[in-house]
Chains A and B, each alone.
Chain A
């Protein structure tokens, strides 16, 4: 059973005036053995929550970098069971850091919503972000997840209307993932002042914390976003880094740290 680690973590951060740093990597990219050490290393570098990608063959909301990450993971033999095992293994040495699984619906349907949510509960997963399941299409997964104390995190976009913001605000728990730009993961046009305005607007409709992702690449981006949002989600730069080290995977954990540490410092300095 989840102990609502996400909410506890967000509350604890807010109490000390710190913003959440949320890295995203693809589970099993490029090989299964890298992921758990990488997760621990990211926590050590200041990650507050980890988003772990469940690889899918057709990730149409992601950019080419994340898609290649998923392709490497699938080629390396990572299955949905494998992703869940990774979380169990991570939990042997870390019971505190919340873990959110992010991915697409079809692999979940293939495993079965009930079996999947049970396994999530058992492995110590805290939240689910199913990219291609907007609130309008929620099926049995939602109840199964709630029954096991799993948070369901939904996306909001710059184009989301106020009506839908209200629906999404009702549906989401843990945090709301605000997609900071039109486009796919790894796009490069981040306008931090526009994001700031939108977040202030979204807060009128949504009571949970708001974390921002898609397009955060540098420590400056992370700090600027965190000055308004409750957290910064960093994905594509990390997956690119993994990609550059596929021939030398042992170096991956440290390389991820060297990206995250400056982000952590910049975020804390501007807090």
Chain B
């Protein structure tokens, strides 16, 4: 299935009208959701090229999020590794502390332009929930966030943040009581209340047109890196690295570079306790194609097709599926997908905190862990850009607990 470089350059990397990326994606949903998805699709295809909509989006990204985010040369860390020059795309400096807000601003504006007064969202670690509650507050929209009951226990600071922002947080008790179940519950709410409700999905997963919408809103990251890298070092980077949960920060960085085949692309999945154990969250590295949450994609399931319980030290990567566009990029050979274990990620978390003065999110720490390996194989005149997708403030409780330290 892997394509030649010539072929990879000539693709347009857009889904077909049914939302398929090659064989992946699509709209594998119950008939009850079809009308809502095609309404969303029509609205989006129209607004995508609407100057008012885009103008408002860009203005919000500048004044509310603080874009453009800097491209930062991690000089000390690069030197310590002794290979390529490493640059961090500082999404951690965004308002609310992660790339997630790029997407929630865009989708909340879609809700506003579609006349929906109520928004719902699913969340795992709480980052997307917080970002959704934030923009809902700003636009005066009612906001309900579904969150697995187990995650609510693990992530209480974010639960409180959402409440401070005026959102209602609904615990989900079904299934594994984590992110995938929150997603199921949000879809259920949406089918039932579709007339007045907009579903702000948190990553590039789900039925079409969501993977495309979320990608487009996050693609501002890669577009900025294009001019920033030219400005800083006169050319595009040699390699891009990002962590992959559902895959939104990764595709946001990758997408503007897909046709530039001289740029190597690496997505890093959560290898948990190791890819050879079943305790990880790395469907692209060791899952298989199937259908989950409305899209055909790589996923983790058992022999009988039941969706597997996943494990990762980072809640934001702890998801058994992945965005369909990544499945496609893997199969055609445009991007490589690798894993970083809990241990490797934690090691990178501490190292970057101490060497660069930046505490990364645990999700991001997976990308950092792989960058270390990759950069070491490269020359000092080469460059790697990594999406510093979020800051680690939310994770200090988790990390402290793993080290037997109590912060309360």
Residues of A within 8 A of B (CB): 56-61, 63-64, 67-68, 71, 74, 79-81, 104-111, 131-134, 136-137, 154-157, 159-161, 164, 168, 179, 182-184, 187
**Sample of 27 A–B contacts (CB below 8 Å):** A58-B180, A60-B30, A60-B183, A60-B187, A60-B188, A60-B294, A61-B32, A67-B184, A71-B175, A74-B306, A80-B305, A105-B291, A107-B305, A108-B305, A109-B290, A132-B29, A134-B28, A134-B30, A134-B34, A136-B26, A137-B26, A155-B30, A155-B32, A160-B35, A182-B194, A184-B191, A187-B192
Q: Are B290 and A106 in contact (CB under 8 A)?
A: yes
Closest chain B residue to A105, Cβ basis: B291
Decide: A106 near B305, CB < 8 A? Known: A132-B294, A155-B30, A156-B31.
Answer: yes
Interface string of B285-307 (1 = CB under 8 A from A): 00001111110100101011111
Q: Closest CB-CB distance, B327 to chain A, in whole Å?
A: 14
Q: Are A56 and B174 in contact (CB under 8 A)?
A: no
Q: Are B36 and A159 in contact (CB under 8 A)?
A: yes
Q: Which residues of B contact A157 (CB under 8 A)?
A: 30-32, 34-35
Q: Closest CB-CB distance, A44 to chain B, in whole Å?
A: 31
Q: Closest CB-CB distance, A39 to chain B, in whole Å?
A: 22
Closest chain B residue to A74, Cβ basis: B306
Q: Are B187 and A110 in contact (CB under 8 A)?
A: no
The one of B27, B32, B183, B290 in contact with A182, judged by C-beta atoms closer than 8 angstroms, is: B32
Closest chain A residue to B306, Cβ basis: A57
Q: Are B307 and A58 in contact (CB under 8 A)?
A: yes
Q: Are A58 and B184 in contact (CB under 8 A)?
A: yes
User: Does B18 sit at the interface, judged by CB under 8 A?
Assistant: yes
Q: Which residues of A contact B30 (CB under 8 A)?
A: 60-61, 131-132, 134, 155, 157, 179
- Which chain B residues in 166-224 approach chain A with CB under 8 Å? 174-175, 180-181, 183-184, 187-188, 191-192, 194-195
Known: A58-B307, A111-B305. 19 other contacts (CB 8 A): A67-B175, A71-B174, A81-B304, A106-B301, A109-B289, A109-B305, A132-B29, A133-B28, A134-B27, A134-B34, A137-B26, A137-B28, A155-B30, A155-B31, A155-B32, A157-B32, A159-B34, A179-B30, A183-B192
Bound form: Cα–Cα A226–B292 in Å: 35
Bound form: Cα–Cα A183–B26 in Å: 21
The one of B28, B192, B303, B307 in contact with A105, judged by C-beta atoms closer than 8 angstroms, is: B28
Q: Which residues of A contact B307 (CB under 8 A)?
A: 57-58, 106
Closest chain B residue to A155, Cβ basis: B31
Closest chain B residue to A160, Cβ basis: B31
Closest chain A residue to B290, Cβ basis: A106
Bound form: Cα–Cα A183–B191 in Å: 5
Decide: A168 near B31, CB < 8 A? Known: A106-B305, A159-B36, A182-B194.
Answer: yes
Q: Are A179 and B294 in contact (CB under 8 A)?
A: no
Bound form: Cα–Cα A134–B38 in Å: 13
Q: Are B306 and A107 in contact (CB under 8 A)?
A: yes
* Chain B interface category by residue count: 35 or more
Q: Are B290 and A134 in contact (CB under 8 A)?
A: no
Q: Are B305 and A67 in contact (CB under 8 A)?
A: no
Q: Closest CB-CB distance, B174 to chain A, in whole Å?
A: 5
Q: Which residues of B contact A156 (CB under 8 A)?
A: 31
Bound form: Cα–Cα A83–B28 in Å: 23
Q: Closest CB-CB distance, A186 to chain B, in whole Å?
A: 10
Q: Are B192 and A58 in contact (CB under 8 A)?
A: no
Closest chain B residue to A214, Cβ basis: B32
Q: Are A159 and B32 in contact (CB under 8 A)?
A: yes
Q: Which residues of B contact A59 (CB under 8 A)?
A: 184
Q: Are B304 and A79 in contact (CB under 8 A)?
A: yes
Q: Closest CB-CB distance, A243 to chain B, in whole Å?
A: 13
Q: Closest CB-CB distance, A128 to chain B, in whole Å?
A: 15
Bound form: Cα–Cα A156–B33 in Å: 11
Which of A132, A136, A154 has the most chain B CB within a 10 Å cutoff? A132
Q: Closest CB-CB distance, A137 to chain B, in whole Å?
A: 5
Q: Which residues of B contact A106 (CB under 8 A)?
A: 290-292, 299, 301, 305-307
Bound form: Cα–Cα A95–B258 in Å: 57
Q: Closest CB-CB distance, B295 to chain A, in whole Å?
A: 10
Closest chain B residue to A67, Cβ basis: B174
Q: Which residues of B contact A71 (CB under 8 A)?
A: 174-175
Q: Which residues of B contact A80 (CB under 8 A)?
A: 304-305
Closest chain B residue to A179, Cβ basis: B32
4 smallest CB-CB distances across A and B, nearest first, come from A110-B305, A107-B305, A159-B35, A61-B30
Q: Are A136 and B27 in contact (CB under 8 A)?
A: yes
Q: Which residues of A contact B290 (CB under 8 A)?
A: 105-106, 109-110
- Which chain B residues in 271-326 approach chain A with CB under 8 Å? 289-294, 296, 299, 301, 303-307
Q: Closest CB-CB distance, B249 to chain A, in whole Å?
A: 24
Q: Closest CB-CB distance, B146 to chain A, in whole Å?
A: 12
Q: Closest CB-CB distance, B171 to chain A, in whole Å?
A: 13
Q: Which residues of A contact B303 (CB under 8 A)?
A: 110
Bound form: Cα–Cα A63–B174 in Å: 10
- Which chain B residues in 1-53 approach chain A with CB under 8 Å? 18, 26-36
Bound form: Cα–Cα A67–B185 in Å: 11
Bound form: Cα–Cα A64–B32 in Å: 17
Q: Are A154 and B28 in contact (CB under 8 A)?
A: no
Bound form: Cα–Cα A107–B92 in Å: 39
Closest chain A residue to B186, Cβ basis: A60
Which of B27, B32, B184, B294 has the most chain A CB within a 10 Å cutoff? B32
Bound form: Cα–Cα A41–B29 in Å: 33
Closest chain B residue to A103, Cβ basis: B305
The one of B27, B29, B174, B304 in contact with A107, judged by C-beta atoms closer than 8 angstroms, is: B304
